[in-house]
Amino acid sequence: ERLAYYDPLTHLPNRRLLLDRLRQACVASGQNQQVGALLFIDMDNFKFLNDTQGHDKGDQLLQQVASRLRNQVRETDTVSRLGGDEFVVMLEGLGADIADAATYARSIGDKVLASLQAPYELGSYVHHCTSSMGVTLFRGRDNSVEEILKQADLAMYEAKAAGRNTLRFFDQTMQKAVDERADLEGHLHQAIERQQLELHYQIQVDDDGQVLGAEALLRWHHPQHGMMSPAVFIPVAEQSDLIVRFGNWVLETACRQLAAWDTAGFSVGHVAVNLSAHQFNDPGLTHHLKAVLSDSGLAARRLELEVTESTLINNPTAAIALMTELKELGVRLSIDDFGTGYSSLAQLKRFPLDTLKIDRTFVSGIPADASDLAIT
């Protein structure tokens, strides 16, 4: 069985076992609608190593490649050696959204390429090499397993043609979308340093039109595309390490602005700032808040922090503990988009909230829609 299903050199699953697991993955994917990905990896100029240093060194390289690949993926993912210097990684359960799955596959692919680029110690000889990768996504049984493998193989040759040490998607439309997303993330990394971010403020008023407060809304001046809505770039920031940095910048800027309005004689009341799930769960949030309030000289009660319903519902016990800690600082707390998730009044009453923001899908029908009116 070992000889039939595993590669004797690297001890990885061989082609036969990979295809068997891919068939099972396709069946599971069809049932749960989760997208999977196949990463086809070929070492660049491997023949040169065998020809100049001998097959023993080549075998050592392949064993180290196998080890690095296993270290870059989850235990539930499959790493396989097809033969020669060709390896395949199968990723399962990447979510139902194709674009998000492509982005995740791209991030894993980039990590794998970087890992395989590091020097290899083959006895006394240190070898440097790169690899090329083809990626294809699958869901259900739209294509045969042989077809899926062929797509990844073709994409790998596209990566070779593009200059090696890179990856390509089989679907050119998807490749374009992933490239655009990577480009967007690259520019996002420079947005704060180059002062491309700015806050707009939407006032909140009472029945008489008196200003009660304002909500801070983030905008980005993209160097090529101009003013961009957060709906475009916040999802990208959330999938990188940027979202906490952006959130902290918004907090600092909004508090300074409210203090500046006070000095200028404008009465705005309070400022509301959205907290992302990553920022809400950041262990340094309370400490950072104290520093921001101290630096701006703003009273804590004039800052309102907004979190979405889904952020709180994921781990209500931890959320309540953190919110209680924030309330002790003196800040106001608000729940945003209420009614879009698994709303529960029993759950709601446990949260120490000052403001409940009902989702626009209920509010927009008022007063014509009696149901919206009743719910609100």
d(CA 23, CA 17): 10
- pLDDT for the residue 172: 65
Residue 347 Cα distances to 115, 194, 324, 337, 362, angstroms: 45, 43, 15, 15, 20
- pLDDT for the residue 299: 93
Nearest Cα residue to 174 out of 109, 77, 92: 109
Give residue 288's Cα distance to chain centre: 23
Per-residue confidence in pLDDT tens, the chain, 376 aa: 888 999 999 999 999 999 999 999 999 998 999 999 999 999 998 988 988 889 999 999 999 999 999 999 998 899 999 999 999 999 999 999 888 899 999 999 999 999 999 999 999 999 999 999 999 999 987 778 998 998 999 899 889 888 899 999 987 666 677 777 778 888 888 888 889 999 999 999 999 999 999 999 999 998 888 888 888 888 888 877 788 889 999 999 999 999 999 999 988 999 999 998 889 988 889 999 999 999 999 999 999 999 988 788 767 888 899 999 999 999 999 988 777 766 677 778 888 999 988 888 888 889 899 998 898 8
- pLDDT for the residue 334: 93
- The pTM for the full model equals 0.60
